[in-house]
Each structure stands twice: as structure tokens, then as C-alpha cells.
Amino acid sequence: MAIPLNINGKDVSVDASADTPLLWVLRDDLQLTGTKYGCGIAQCGACTVHLDGQPMRSCQAPIGSLAGVKILTIESLGGTHPIQAAWVKHDVPQCGYCQSGQIMSAVALLAKTPKPNDADIDAAMNGNICRCGTYQRIRAAIKDAAGVATA
Amino acid sequence: MDASHSMPATAAKPKKRLITTRRAFVVGALVVGGGALLVGVKPTDVLSLGANTPIGPFGPFIRFDPDGAVTVVNKHIEFGQGSHVGLAAMVAEELDADWDKVQIAQAPANARIYANLSVGAQGTGGSTAIANSWDQFRTAGAAARAMFIEAAATKFGVPAAQLTVKDSVISHPSGKSASFAELLPDAAKVTPPQSPPLKDPKAFTLIGTDRVRRKDAVAKSTGTARFTQDVHLPNMLTAMVAHPPRFGGQVASFDDSAARKVPGVVDVFKVPSGVAVVAANTFAARQGRDALKVQWDESKAETRGSDDLLTQYHSTSDPAATGGATNWQVFEQQPKGGGVAPAAAKSLDLTYDFPFLAHAPMEPMNCVAEIGGGKLKLTVGSQIPTIDQLNTAMIVGALPGSVEIEQLYAGGSFGRRANFQSDYVAECVHIAKHVGGGRPVKLVWAREDDMTGGYYRPLTHHRLKVGIGADGMPVSWIHRVVSQSVMKGSPIPGGMDTSSVEGAMGSPYLKVTPFVDGQLTFVDVGVPVLWWRSVGATHTAFVMEHTVDQIARLAGKDPVDYRRALYTKAGAAGARHLAVLNLAAEKAPWGKPANGWTQGVAVHESFGTVVGQIAEVKLDGGRPRVGRVVTAIDCGIAISPDQIAAQMEGGTCLGLAAALYGKIELKGGVVQQRNFDGYQVLRMSEAPQVETYIVRSLNRPSGAGEPGTPVIAPAVANALLALTGKATTSLPFVAA
């Protein structure tokens, strides 16, 4: 069944069942592989994308529910987003696998809260697991991109 | 080797053990692999039979683009630990290359050319990537530099000794200069020197500076870094496998009628590890796998639970309960040959229990294989390519070196991607072999497959009786360890698996204790176990450091002062520990925690690196909360201070996650934790603020990937001891 989606500003049509999670359509059908599979149950945040500006777990978003929704993935940032620049400046990534999801959560945070404090960062980022333990650099990079002083 | 770079005895010793053990496994693997063990032939020559790796004029580790840009070929996997940048900096330093234009590529699999020199096979582990490459990669850079110098000397008609190199440009005092790009065709014709002089470390201009930063941060911040999970090849199939619910279970029969009806499912068949479903995409494979009905033969399955095992381990270590049937091996003994424990003024009886732990890297296990039709290729983040080649070769019947491996980034591993059975790689090879024709197959493990799939840090039990004299110093240390061997199933010819007691074995605390009786026994359990970042130190560091705090308390001494006394008494064996402790104590500073926080200290050596931490801890709703963690590290010469700090930050988080929550529990042989909802890990709001201070050193570098992991748990336990007066006897701190 052809299902229309709007991904990174482009209208696309995918041939998949309505219950297919957006994650697998992005990765397998559209080869937008920046969005990662980590747990499949919305516990790790590796698959975070923006649905109408909200950070959401694409593993839990069946494509049949996304008609008219603007979907943005890590690829939409183009590598030039201030958050991405801060990530590179602070050498945040280690293995790097979770970082697309971390970045999408951080971008959504700054869009809503341009000058986040530590509690804002905890609340926005707690759904994103990093097993390498890059959390303190993530925190520093978010503050740097936001122009708020590090405690 | 320059004498000024020789390592102190404390650093050299564990490395030597590692060499013996892990080289032996490769030799043994050859025997088991059915290949004849040829006397006088190096294992790496046999293991690379069938390989055809092109080598350019500058050797296997360096390539130049026509524009002079340098590509360093990394023989190790990059899975977060920073081997990429460390190895590249060694080459760039000796080559005097323009660091901004240095790139990194992954080496293909070839045990002869790209072996880890401390294990005799191509592979990454034991925090050896930097240490084993230190001479090799610097020599490669220095040899290439000499080739450019010779080419320039000829071109300019000047003596080579008058030339200098900076940022990929060779200059002569006369004003003549040429870039690597201009000299490349001539330099490529020069015969590389075998033993070019290396720089005095005091003359380094790149190594040890903050310029040595990751080269992959852009790719990993844009979603473009390529992991096994991301591989797409034309006509590729995706596979998932139904595994038995208990370890050791086998397929008895299966009904695939529903699975075959799932749109996209292409085939269903039995493989040695379960029932494979191959499909056009991941979602179809998952749905097909979930629709399978499999009857399992569990007649040989492990049916014990964690509690059953703990009860057995306790009775095994209990002198009152032991029937003498256990196979104890001595790992430390003073005086040699045994003796009688001297009378103690005071003593402590202690037990410690540690659960199974899953590695749970963010990228679940996976592999891509192409078998048949002239193809024999894996595309995978491979931690021990030589073993993955060998296991693949045994399945398909080929020379190990003929198995091509395209090495990718791995989304973490923490040891999971290194095992003697190549479990998930072999599973993928079986599937791809069945599919045949060289058609690419990507095996995907769901998180649940990864977490319930075994290869855990073994459940481990320690029992100690420690006596102190009238002066408070230890006079007797009786220590029993009960665990599973992570080397079991590996073809090691003889010898004790010391990886289970490393950290207790060789401890400076035992060196200063007149009576030591340390023994280890392994129990046969049907749960696959494996090294987990920092291996034996994941429990030995806790036992040694928490015990020392308890005996300091018994002696009425301050924990830092007490350690200083022990390290001082140990002499050379405690010198680096003392320096690390003093640096951490100065920077914290010890004795002056922030208001409302309690400090805990721990110091531990693993893989030749000493790490000391002073953690600030408080109880928050009954749970330990960790704030500032001051870390001091002696890892020899610091190549990338920033990445050493990153490893301390990350290692601390992984260690703290395990200490707070980490537990894989078996009930009736079934793993209870299946995903991150049941297996809790550390999240942003709980992450400590780690400050790293590096001991200045001109010793050869040792590792930084693992030694930051095991220190935080005892530091937290020691803070809790100070705060509550209660000792910790088992991990994790927080009950599920």
C-alpha cells in the first residue's frame, strides 16, 4: 500500500503496511540511516526524529498515523546546525551510534527553551541513552550552543 | 627500546601475562580449527593464508593522496575508544605531517600485516591498541619522513641533515622548500629505512597536545558514520533468528506456516543457533520471526537461576561447607609454599557477590555476510577479525585469510564483539551460506536478542578473611574467588585464566601483607560468559578497594592516609599508585567535600594504567547519587589528553551504571532482563561530572579504554561506608 509521507521537506510515497514503524521505513526503504535502531520500545532514544517539531521515537510511530505530519531526521540538519557544531567542538561522540538521537533531542530542546538550565537539559535528554557515557560533554555542548555559562 | 622509556615493574607485569595468555589462544585456535600447527611457522602466517592485501610504497599503515594528504591505516577497530586518533597522531608526529590533513582508514583483515603485536592476532582488547602500536606506527611515520627527506635532498642537491619538515613541507635554510605532494612521486621510489630514528618524546609537537582530537566527530554528529546496521547492498536480505529461551537449548521442531505468510518473508530455515527468517527488510524479518512456533529441546539446557548459583558459590568458598571437591588454583601466596597465618589483633570476614552483566552496547549485535558465487566477505564492526575469519573459514571450508572483512565502526562493544565463537558472525555466515550465491545477508539482532544472548560478565563471588596487626597494617589476607572462566571454550593449552583475578593478583596491598593465601576456582555453568570492559577488575577493584577502606576503618585510619602507608611500604610496586592517589587527593581536595556530599576514594591498576578517583556521593531517596568525580590517571605518555579524559568520563559512566543498576538475573535458566526497561542503565540526570588529571610521564603509553571503568563502584561504596557506616556486600547498589 502506498503511503504518503513528508520527510525532510519532501513528499514521498512508500510502499509499506500502515503499521510499519517509521524507523524501518526511514532506514530500509529510504536509506536515511542516520536514525538508529537501539531498543524498539522507546526506551533508548536512538531513533529520535521530529514529528511536527516534537522529538519523538520513530520506532513507535506507525507510518499510517503520520499523514500530514512534517517529519525531520538528522539528515535535515545538514551538518551546519549550531548543535552539530558544538558537538564537534566538544568532541562529544565516542562510538557515535546514539548521537543522531541525542542531537535531535537537543535541537528540539533549544527550539523550545533557548537558554536551558541543568534541569531543562535533564528533562529533555533523559530519554536518550548513551552507553559510552558522553553525557557531560552533551551537557556542555548544549550549553555552548545555547550561549549559557557552564556551571 | 630507549631505556628512559622503560616501564616500571608494576606496569610491565600485567602486560606480560596478557601476552602469554592471548597468544596461546591463537595457537590453540589453529589446532582446534583443524589446521596443522606447523613448527617454525608463525601463527599469523598461517592465519593470513589466502589473504591478498596490496601494500603501497610507504608500507601497510600509510597512504598518500596526490595532493599530499596522509591516510593512516588503523589496524584496530574504532568503537568509541579513540584508537583512530591515537594511532594517527603517532604517525603524524614522526612524519611531521599537517595534522589537519590527516585522515584515517580501516585496515582490511590480515593477521600477518595487521596483528596486534601483544596478542599475535588482529584484534582489539585488553586496552592494547595504543600500547602495541607505539613503536610500529611511529616507525612507519618516521620511515615515510625519511623517504621524503631523501627525495628532497636529491631534488635540492643538499645534504639530508640540513632539511627540516613541518606541516608536510620540507625546507632548507637556503629558502628551498617542497611539499609532500610535490615530492610524492620521488619519495615513493625511495627504499624505506627499516629502523629510522624516532623522536625524543621531549621533542613531540603534536602528541600530548590538545590538537589531538577525534577525526570522526563530524561523521558521528551528522548521521553519516557507517555502522553494520547501516549497510545496504543491492539485493540484500535481512535475517533474524529465533533463539532458545535457555542456554544450551536446541531446535526440536518448528512451524513456520504463519511466518511464511508475512509479506516480505523470503525463507525460513534451521541454523545451528536457532531458526532463521530471511526477509526483504528488517520489519518483515522481525514479524516473521515473531510468528514462528518453535519447539525447543531443553534436555541439555542450563536451568539454574542466579540465586541457585550464588548459593552454590557461597558453599564452594565456605571452608566449613567445602567438601574438598573444588579445583582450587593459587593466584597469590606468601610466603611461597604456604605457611601459617600470624596472629591478628583484629580481623574481618567479608563476602562479595557480583551479578551477570550484559554489555548492552547501543548497536545490538549484527553482521553482513556474502558467501558463494566467488564471494567470501563480511562487512561488520569486528573486534577480533582474525577469529571472525577463522570461524567463518571453518563454516564455509576456506583458508582464513581468504575471508575478506570490511571493517566498520561499531556502536560500542565493551568486549561483546570479541569472542572465540564469533557467535553472531558465525550465525550470519550460516545463513548467508544457506542463501548462497554471494547474496548479501544482514543479520539483525533485536535488543532482546542482544540482552538475552549471553556472553555476560560472569556472576562472581569473593570470600575474604583479613587480619590486621597492632599497628593497623594487614598481617593476613585469605581470599577465595568463585567464578566462571571467560577463557573456557577457548583452546588455551594449560595455564590459569588469570583474567578473573587480575587486580587482586599483583595488588600492592598483597605485596605488603606477610601472609597471603589467594585461591580461585571455576564452576561449570551453561551460561556463556565473556570479558566486559576492564574484565577481572570489574569485581577485583571493588573487592580490593572496598576491603581496604574497611580495614582502614578497623584500624582507625583515614582511607587516603592508610593507602599512602600501604603504597609507601610496597615501594616500587606502589609508587605509581601513590602518585595517582596524591594527585587525586590534591585536586579534590580530599577531606573537603562540597556541602552535603561525602567523599569516597579508590585506586586501581588495570592493563598497566593506574586510575584513582575521589567521588562525591550523597543519598537521594535512599539511592546513591554521584556528583563530582576527581580522576587521576597514569597511563604513561598521554597521546591525546582530551580523549583520555573522554575515556575516564565514559568509563566512569559505564562503571557507575553497572554499580547502581547492572544485573542480568536468571530464573530457572531464563534471562529476566530483555531490554532497557528491565536492564536499567545510566541516564543524563544521573551522570557524574568527571574531572581528569593526568600524571606527567615519559613512560611508554599503556591503555585508557578500560581502566576508567572499575574504580567508581568502590569509590561510591567507600563514600557510603563513610556516610552510613555500612559496607556493601553485593552489587548493584539499587535493587530492581
**Residue B182 in 3-state DSSP?**
helix
pLDDT at B13: 33
Residue B215: list chain A partners with CB under 8 A.
none
In contact, B476 and B342? CB cutoff 8 Å: yes
Residues with Cβ < 8 Å from B345, sequence gap 6 or more? B467, B468, B469, B470
Residues with Cβ < 8 Å from B356, sequence gap 6 or more? B306, B456, B457, B458, B459, B527, B529, B663, B664, B665, B666
pLDDT at A149: 79
State whether B682 and A37 contact (CB < 8 Å): no
Residue B607, class by beta-carbon neighbours within 10 Å (0-12 exposed, 13-18 middle, 19+ buried)? buried
In contact, B251 and B271? CB cutoff 8 Å: no
- Report yes or no: A137 at the B interface, CB cutoff 8 Å: yes
Residues with Cβ < 8 Å from B313, sequence gap 6 or more? B353, B459, B460, B461, B482, B523
State whether A92 and B412 contact (CB < 8 Å): no
CA angle B589-B592-B597, nearest 5°? 115
Q: How far apart are CA B377 and CA A62, in angstroms?
A: 35
In contact, A79 and A16? CB cutoff 8 Å: no
Intra-chain end-to-end CA distance of chain A, in Å: 52
State whether B223 and A40 contact (CB < 8 Å): no
Q: How far apart are CA A33 and CA B689, in angstroms?
A: 32
State whether A129 and B82 contact (CB < 8 Å): no
Q: For chain B, give the number of residues.
A: 736
State whether A29 and B281 contact (CB < 8 Å): yes
- Report yes or no: B619 at the A interface, CB cutoff 8 Å: no
Per-residue cell: B421: 565463537
State whether B361 and A95 contact (CB < 8 Å): yes
State whether A41 and B447 contact (CB < 8 Å): yes
Closest CA to B390 of B48, B39, B37: B48
Per-residue cell: B576: 605509581
Name the percent of chain A lying above pLDDT 90.
97
- The model carries a pTM of 0.95
Q: Among B78, B84, B222, B409, which would you mutate to test the A interface (most chain A Cβ atoms within 10 Å of its Cβ)?
A: B222
Q: How far apart are CA B245 and CA B387, in angstroms?
A: 27
Nearest CA in chain A to B657: A131
In contact, B547 and B466? CB cutoff 8 Å: yes
- Shortest Cα–Cα distance, A57 to chain B (Å): 15
- Report yes or no: B379 at the A interface, CB cutoff 8 Å: no
Residue A34 has pLDDT above 90, yes or no: yes
Nearest CA in chain B to A141: B221
- Report yes or no: A82 at the B interface, CB cutoff 8 Å: no
Q: How far apart are CA B345 and CA B497, in angstroms?
A: 35
At CB < 8 A and 24+ separation, what contacts does B336-340 make? B338/B517, B339/B515, B340/B515
Nearest CA in chain B to A30: B232
- Shortest Cα–Cα distance, B507 to chain A (Å): 28
Residue A128: list chain B partners with CB under 8 A.
683-684
- Shortest Cα–Cα distance, B674 to chain A (Å): 10
Nearest CA in chain B to A1: B263
- Report yes or no: B594 at the A interface, CB cutoff 8 Å: no
Closest CA to B322 of B482, B550, B144: B482
Q: Which of B642, B675, B687 sits opposite A43 (nearest CB)?
A: B675
With b for 16 or more beta-carbon neighbours within 10 A and e for fewer, the B685-699 pattern comes to ebbbbbbbbbbebeb
* Number of CB pairs, chain A paired with chain B, less than 8 A apart: 180
- Shortest Cα–Cα distance, B247 to chain A (Å): 22
Per-residue cell: B529: 560468559
Per-residue cell: A87: 558537538
- Report yes or no: A134 at the B interface, CB cutoff 8 Å: yes
Q: Which of A20, A91, A138 sits opposite B642 (nearest CB)?
A: A91
Residues 90-119 of A with CB under 8 A from B: 91-100, 103
Angle subtended by helix axes B559-570 and B572-587, to nearest 10: 150
Residues 59-118 of B with CB under 8 A from A: 79-82
Residues 14-33 of A with CB under 8 A from B: 16-17, 20-21, 24, 27-29, 31-33
Residues 641-660 of B with CB under 8 A from A: 642-643, 646, 649-654, 657
Per-residue cell: B720: 557510603
State whether A74 and B282 contact (CB < 8 Å): no
3-state secondary structure chain A: CEEEEEECCEEEEEECCCCCEHHHHHHHHCCCCCCCCCCCCCCCCCCEEEECCEEEEHHHCEHHHCCCCEEECHHHHCCCCHHHHHHHHCCCCCCCCCHHHHHHHHHHHHHHCCCCCHHHHHHHHCCCCCCCCCHHHHHHHHHHHHCCCCC
Residues 244-273 of B with CB under 8 A from A: 263
**Residue B138 in 3-state DSSP?**
helix
Residues 55-74 of A with CB under 8 A from B: 73-74
Residues 516-555 of B with CB under 8 A from A: none
Running along chain B, 736 residues long, what does each successive block of 10 average in pLDDT? 32 34 41 46 86 94 96 97 96 98 97 93 93 97 98 98 98 98 98 96 96 97 98 98 98 98 98 98 98 98 98 91 74 92 96 98 98 97 96 96 98 96 97 98 98 98 98 97 87 72 97 97 95 97 98 98 98 98 98 98 98 98 96 98 98 98 98 98 98 97 97 98 98 92
State whether A84 and B363 contact (CB < 8 Å): no
With b for 16 or more beta-carbon neighbours within 10 A and e for fewer, the B183-194 pattern comes to bbebbeebebee
Q: Which of B221, B238, B646 sits opposite A99 (nearest CB)?
A: B221
Q: Among A75, A84, A135, which would you mutate to test the B interface (most chain B Cβ atoms within 10 Å of its Cβ)?
A: A135
In contact, B723 and B617? CB cutoff 8 Å: yes
Q: How far apart are CA B262 and CA B277, in angstroms?
A: 11
- Shortest Cα–Cα distance, B657 to chain A (Å): 9
In contact, B546 and B731? CB cutoff 8 Å: no
Nearest CA in chain B to A97: B411
pLDDT, tens only, A66-124:
999 999 999 999 999 999 999 999 999 999 999 999 999 999 999 999 999 999 999 99
Q: How far apart are CA B451 and CA A97, in angstroms?
A: 17
Residues with Cβ < 8 Å from B80, sequence gap 6 or more? A93, A94, A95, A96, A132, B412, B650
Nearest CA in chain A to B364: A38
Angle subtended by helix axes B423-435 and B385-396, to nearest 10: 40
Q: Which of B232, B409, B654 sits opposite A96 (nearest CB)?
A: B409
Q: For chain A, give the number of residues.
A: 151
Angle subtended by helix axes B9-32 and B385-396, to nearest 10: 10
Residues 431-470 of B with CB under 8 A from A: 444, 446-447
Residue B232: list chain A partners with CB under 8 A.
31, 33
Nearest CA in chain A to B231: A33
Nearest CA in chain B to A103: B221
- Shortest Cα–Cα distance, B534 to chain A (Å): 14
Q: Which of A33, A94, A100 sits opposite B80 (nearest CB)?
A: A94
Residue A18: list chain B partners with CB under 8 A.
none
State whether A41 and B677 contact (CB < 8 Å): yes
In contact, B534 and B706? CB cutoff 8 Å: yes
The DSSP code sequence of B319-346 is TTT--S-S--EEEEEESTT---PPP-SE
Q: Among B362, B533, B640, B686, which would you mutate to test the A interface (most chain A Cβ atoms within 10 Å of its Cβ)?
A: B362
Residues with Cβ < 8 Å from B203, sequence gap 6 or more? none
Q: How far apart are CA B428 and CA B276, in angstroms?
A: 9
**Residue B32 in 3-state DSSP?**
helix
Closest CA to B633 of B683, B561, B576, B573: B576
